[in-house]
């Protein structure tokens, strides 16, 4: 199993540009989430999904869109990049049930917006 994969690993954007961060998992997990990590602030939830076709907002959703057409994929779209979106982005997946529930994280995407 590859686990959770994210592409790209690094990205530099100019203010106003749009892009999509890709996330895929091969563990047949129902839940998928996007977090951003900023220095001294831990991880903050952007959007999450409990299954294909179902998404919901997290703590910091503004400026980001998501969709989940398949169990495996959960892309994060930046509509019009801003310097405040400079961060490291992590995708995670998990599955409910006794003995599970922990999240499996991808390696992250380091995004810089100029």
What is the SS3 assignment for 83?
helix
* Segment lying near other proteins (by CB under 8 A), choices 14-22, 65-73, 75-83, 93-101: 93-101
Asked whether position 10 contacts other proteins by CB under 8 A, the answer is: no
Q: Which long-range contacts (CB under 8 A, 24 or more apart) does 79-83 make?
A: 79/18, 80/16, 80/17, 80/18, 81/13, 81/14, 81/15, 81/16, 81/17, 81/18, 81/19, 81/113, 82/15, 82/113, 83/15, 83/113, 83/114
Q: Please give the residues from 31 up to 50 whose contact with other proteins meets the rule CB under 8 A.
A: 31-33, 35, 40-45, 48-50
19 or 104: whose CB is closer to other proteins?
Answer: 104
Residue in 24, 66, 92, 113 binding other proteins, rule: CB under 8 A? 92
> Which of 25, 85, 87, 94 is the binder for other proteins (CB under 8 A)?
94
Pick out residues in 11-30 that bind other proteins (CB under 8 A): 30
Rounded Cα distance between 104 and 82, Å, is 28
Residues in touch with other proteins (CB under 8 A):
4, 30-33, 35, 40-45, 48-50, 58, 90, 92-96, 98-108
């Amino acid at each position: 199993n590859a686990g959770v994969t994210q592409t790209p690993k690094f990205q530099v954007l100019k203010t106003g540009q749009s892009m999509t961060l890709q996330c895929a998992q091969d563990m047949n997990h129902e839940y998928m989430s996007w977090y951003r990590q900023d220095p001294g602030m831990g991880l903050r939830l952007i959007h999450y999904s409990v299954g294909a076709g179902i998404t919901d907002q997290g703590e910091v959703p503004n400026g980001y869109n998501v969709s989940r057409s398949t169990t495996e994929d959960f892309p994060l779209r930046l509509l019009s990049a801003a310097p405040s979106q400079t961060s490291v982005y992590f995708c995670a997946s998990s599955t409910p049930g006794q003995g599970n529930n922990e999240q499996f994280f991808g390696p992250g995407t380091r995004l810089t917006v100029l």
